[in-house]
């Protein structure tokens, strides 16, 4: 009986009790996994009594929006509020922007309150006798590149921020390199520059440098700040000289691969000295000092919590290297709202202010980079990358514990690329917690990512519909799919896209539910079409048959660049009995044949080391597609073989460490690069 109730509760809570392997075989989720996932959702399932109580909780609180006083709608459609009301009674409301209106209500078929459709998107507030109710009214779809470019096609580049070189960067690429590359790309005709995630990591733990494992997605990584974009150049030069940083900056800047610990220490020395000098400037600090003072005075509670976490995390790590996880701290410090944390913050007020300074400096230089891209002619400018989740040991999970799913990791079930499945060590929002909080954590996360850009790429966009969640300590095979309120989340994405005039791209690679890509298309979310994956049983899909609403790419940061793939640079000796070299030789022939059929090349396929004509053909291939936006990774623009990240590896490969040769400002000056970009679109200038 308890097993039946367990599975009944799982279904009502949005957990799929079974899943289908890539082979077509159906698998049952174990009872133990269901219990752990239910517990993480706030639904105890350890005993029969727990199960019955949790089932009653789910059934009684099915409509959490009535409790949170928040719902979503679409423009042009009547709005149904999950509350009882008398038909025909006047309803006062305040539209997004402050305009007041009075509407006549109607009674829905179930006795709920129904309002006439809104014709304008926004967060509208209905004033009722028992309190206000927010209606997030979304447009029909997201802003698209076609909207911004009058329907004409265009192209952009993609780049890893850390890989970009600029003068005095000290060994880690930052927004100076982004600005330089953005201006150069705009001159070559590009309308967008998609960058790696800028989420905050851990200031006291530089060995954790994966941009897709953030401490929080609400704030930024100060290592990417460009002080010269915000502070006086004379101050910057003075600090570098006074602190004796020049020689070490030069050494680290020259490295082919980032030394994250050393470069982080150097950057923090510079930033800390700049903060002290700016605070000591009094009235002579000029506009920068005044702006910093405003930032300190106006810091939100969320920002202060993140700043306190950074200082506390550093203090705990200095006490014990084993204190990296906040769950291992002493109990008083595990409560962000408790008196012990408040006392710590007061005692370390100067350090907390320093962390706020870092966020101000990073956000200011981020905004400056976007302005530079737009002023150079780009229709979109920067496209931010939103990671699928956050580290369970990080700032967000500490300061907003009710937002996230404790004890679970986001991952993926077994597929042809990972036979054992994947568990990424990231947590994410609780779907029930989102509904109960009026989706504020999700909205805040979107706004943080969209604040300084013209577009956003949502990593693993299927997570807006369902996620594979794995109990902590279990294998990825022991996970289950958990449903998320996709219609609500997509409405909020569309609304924030409209409010920020920003395009939305969804990474939709891998195993997807039937019809999911059609849903993305209807929502105005551009999926990704990557050349290496656009295949059928008969070979590569002809460029004319690609999805016009998707973004076309030659490769991604998780794949080896085209030149490296053709050369077989990713093929290492194995003893698995598979002829990987022979398979790659066959695949080269299939790709070259596709280029021939598209009329892009003639003659025999080049040798593995002759990569240049293959890279050229790959770029011309995506240029032939009807995709409105083409995104070319900088690695393929340059024709290099270096792969930014090898999935499934950590220390085995130099992931997130490679730097590009040459400064960002001149990367596109090579004639071969100019020719490749010209295949995607005409330049704006020859300068």
pLDDT at 108: 65
How far out from the chain centre does Cα 562 lie? 24
* Residue range 330-340, pLDDT digits in tens: 999 999 999 99
Using left for φ > 0, alpha for ψ between -120 and 50, and beta otherwise, residue 60 falls in alpha
- The pLDDT value recorded for residue 210 is 97
Q: Among 112-121, 145-154, 171-180, 436-445, whose mean pLDDT is lowest?
A: 112-121
Residue 63 reports pLDDT greater than 70: no
- Mean pLDDT on 634-660: 95
By the 10 Å C-beta count (0-12 exposed, 13-18 middle, 19+ buried), 431 is classed as buried
Is it the case that residue 499 has pLDDT exceeding 60?
A: yes
Average pLDDT, the chain: 94
Q: Determine the Cα–Cα distance for residues 470 and 20; give it in Å rounded to an integer.
A: 16
- Determine the pLDDT at residue 96: 96
Of the candidates 537, 539, 540, the one whose C-alpha atom is nearest the C-alpha of residue 552 is 540
Distance, CA of 635 to CA of 617 (rounded, Å)? 15
- pLDDT at residue 104 tops 90: no
Average pLDDT (133-158) is 97
The two structure tokens encoding residue 326: 């906040």
Of the candidates 332, 399, 389, 354, the one whose C-alpha atom is nearest the C-alpha of residue 204 is: 354
pLDDT score, position 110: 64
Q: How far is it, in rounded angstroms, from Cα 216 to Cα 219?
A: 6
pLDDT digits (tens, 9 = 90+) for 579-607: 999 999 999 999 999 999 999 999 999 99
Does residue 415 carry a pLDDT above 80? no
Tell me the pLDDT band of 3, cut-offs 50, 70 and 90.
confident
Query: Average pLDDT in the 20-38 region?
Result: 92
pLDDT tens digits for range 533-583: 999 988 999 999 999 999 999 999 999 999 999 999 999 888 888 999 999
Residue 35 has a pLDDT of 97
Number of H helices, E strands in the chain: 23, 27
**CA dist 109 → 95, 112, 137, 232, 599 (Å):** 26, 7, 22, 64, 60
Read off the pLDDT of residues 355-411 as tens digits, 9 standing for 90 and up. 999 999 999 999 999 999 999 999 999 999 999 999 999 999 999 999 999 999 999
Give, in order, the Cα–Cα distances in Å from 437 to each of 61, 80, 102, 126, 570: 14, 19, 27, 18, 46
User: Given pLDDT bands bounded at 50, 70 and 90, which one contains residue 687?
Assistant: very low
Maximal C-alpha separation, the chain: 78
Residue 70 — very low, low, confident or very high, per pLDDT cuts 50/70/90?
very high
What's this model's pTM, rounded to 2 decimal places?
A: 0.96
pLDDT attached to residue 271: 98
User: With 50 as the cut, is the pLDDT of residue 623 above it?
Assistant: yes
| Domains in the chain: ranges and CATH | 2-60 (no CATH), 71-138 (2.60.40.10), 196-365 (no CATH)
Give the CA-trace dihedral at 508, 481, 428, 362, to 10 degrees.
Answer: -10
Residues 6+ apart with CB under 8 A from 442: 429, 434, 489, 492
- How far is CA 299 from each of CA 222, 313, 473, rounded to the nearest angstrom? 16, 20, 38
Which residue has tokens 């929080």? Answer: 216
Residue range 168-209, pLDDT digits in tens: 999 999 999 999 999 999 999 999 999 999 999 999 999 999
Q: Is the dihedral of CA 117, 121, 123, 127 positive or negative?
A: negative
Phi, psi for residue 302 in degrees, rounded to 5 = -60, -45
Give residue 417's pLDDT: 66
pLDDT on residue 510: 82
Q: Model confidence over 422-476: pLDDT tens digits?
A: 899 999 999 999 999 999 999 999 999 999 999 999 999 999 999 999 999 999 9
Q: Helix, strand, or coil here: 433?
A: helix
From residue 141, alpha-carbon distances to 225, 259, 492, 523 in Å are: 33, 43, 10, 5
| Arithmetic mean of pLDDT, 295-309 | 98
**Do the beta carbons of residue 447 and residue 495 sit within 8 Å?**
no
Please tell me the predicted confidence (pLDDT) of residue 60.
77
115 contact partners, CB below 8 Å, separation of at least 6: 78, 79, 81, 91, 93, 103, 105, 106, 126, 135
Whether residue 284 is predicted with pLDDT greater than 60 in this model: the reply is no
pLDDT score of 286:
79
């Amino acid at each position: 009986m308890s097993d039946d109730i367990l599975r009944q509760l799982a279904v009502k809570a949005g957990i799929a009790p079974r899943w289908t392997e890539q082979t077509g075989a159906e698998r049952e989720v174990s009872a133990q996994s269901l219990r752990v996932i239910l517990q993480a959702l706030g639904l105890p399932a350890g005993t029969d009594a727990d199960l019955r109580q949790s089932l009653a909780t789910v059934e009684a609180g099915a409509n959490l929006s009535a409790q949170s006083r928040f719902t979503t709608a679409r423009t042009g459609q009547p709005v149904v509020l999950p509350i009882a009301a008398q038909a025909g009674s006047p309803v006062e409301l305040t539209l997004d922007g402050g305009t007041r209106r009075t509407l006549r209500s109607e009674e829905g078929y179930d006795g709920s309150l129904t309002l006439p459709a809104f014709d304008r998107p926004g967060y509208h507030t209905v004033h009722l006798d028992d309190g206000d109710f927010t209606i997030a009214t979304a447009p029909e779809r997201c802003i698209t590149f076609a909207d911004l470019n009058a329907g004409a096609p265009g192209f952009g580049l993609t780049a890893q921020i850390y890989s970009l070189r600029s003068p005095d960067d000290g060994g880690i690429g930052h927004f100076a390199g982004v600005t330089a590359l953005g201006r150069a790309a705009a001159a070559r005709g590009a309308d967008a520059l998609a960058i790696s995630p800028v989420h905050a990591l851990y200031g006291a733990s530089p060995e954790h440098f994966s941009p897709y494992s953030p401490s929080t997605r609400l704030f930024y990584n100060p290592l990417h700040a460009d002080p010269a974009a915000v502070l006086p150049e004379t101050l910057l030069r003075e600090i570098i000289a006074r602190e004796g940083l020049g020689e070490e900056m030069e050494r680290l800047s020259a490295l082919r691969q980032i030394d994250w610990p050393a470069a982080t220490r150097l950057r923090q020395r510079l930033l800390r000295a700049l903060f002290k000098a700016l605070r000591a400037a009094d009235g002579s600090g000029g506009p920068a000092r005044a702006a910093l003072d405003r930032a300190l005075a106006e810091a939100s509670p969320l920002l202060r919590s993140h700043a306190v976490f950074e200082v506390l995390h550093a203090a705990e790590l200095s006490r014990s290297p084993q204190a990296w996880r906040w769950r291992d701290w002493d109990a008083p410090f595990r409560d962000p709202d408790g008196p012990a944390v408040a006392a710590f913050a007061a005692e370390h007020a100067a350090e907390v202010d320093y962390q706020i300074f870092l966020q101000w400096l990073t956000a200011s230089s981020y905004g400056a980079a976007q302005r530079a891209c737009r002023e150079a002619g780009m229709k979109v400018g920067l496209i931010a990358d939103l990671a699928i989740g956050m580290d369970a040991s990080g700032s967000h999970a500490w300061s907003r514990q009710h937002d996230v799913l404790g004890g679970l990791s986001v991952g993926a079930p077994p597929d042809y690329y990972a036979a054992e499945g994947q568990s990424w060590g990231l947590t994410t929002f609780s779907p029930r917690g989102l509904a109960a909080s009026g989706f504020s954590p999700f909205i805040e996360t979107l706004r943080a990512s969209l604040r300084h850009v013209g577009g956003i790429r949502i990593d693993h966009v299927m997570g807006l519909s369902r996620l594979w969640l794995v109990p902590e300590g279990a294998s990825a095979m022991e996970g289950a799919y958990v449903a998320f309120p996709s219609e609500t989340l997509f409405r909020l994405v569309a609304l924030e896209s409209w409010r920020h005039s920003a395009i939305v791209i969804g990474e939709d690679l891998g195993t997807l539910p039937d019809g999911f890509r059609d849903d993305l298309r209807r929502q105005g979310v551009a999926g990704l079409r990557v050349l290496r994956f656009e295949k059928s049983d008969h070979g590569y899909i002809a460029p004319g048959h690609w999805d016009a609403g998707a973004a076309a790419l030659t490769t991604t940061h998780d794949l080896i660049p085209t030149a490296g793939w053709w050369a077989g640079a990713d093929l290492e000796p194995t003893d698995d009995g598979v002829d990987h070299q022979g398979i790659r030789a066959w695949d080269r022939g299939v790709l070259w044949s596709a280029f021939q059929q598209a009329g892009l090349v003639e003659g025999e396929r080049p040798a593995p080391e002759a990569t240049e004509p293959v890279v050229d053909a790959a770029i011309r291939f995506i240029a032939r597609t009807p995709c409105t936006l083409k995104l070319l990774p900088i690695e393929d623009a340059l024709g290099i073989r270096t792969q930014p990240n090898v999935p499934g590896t950590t220390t085995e490969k130099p992931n997130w460490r490679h730097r590009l040769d040459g400064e960002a400002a001149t990367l596109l000056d090579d004639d071969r690069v100019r020719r490749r970009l010209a295949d995607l679109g005409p330049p704006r200038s020859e300068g």
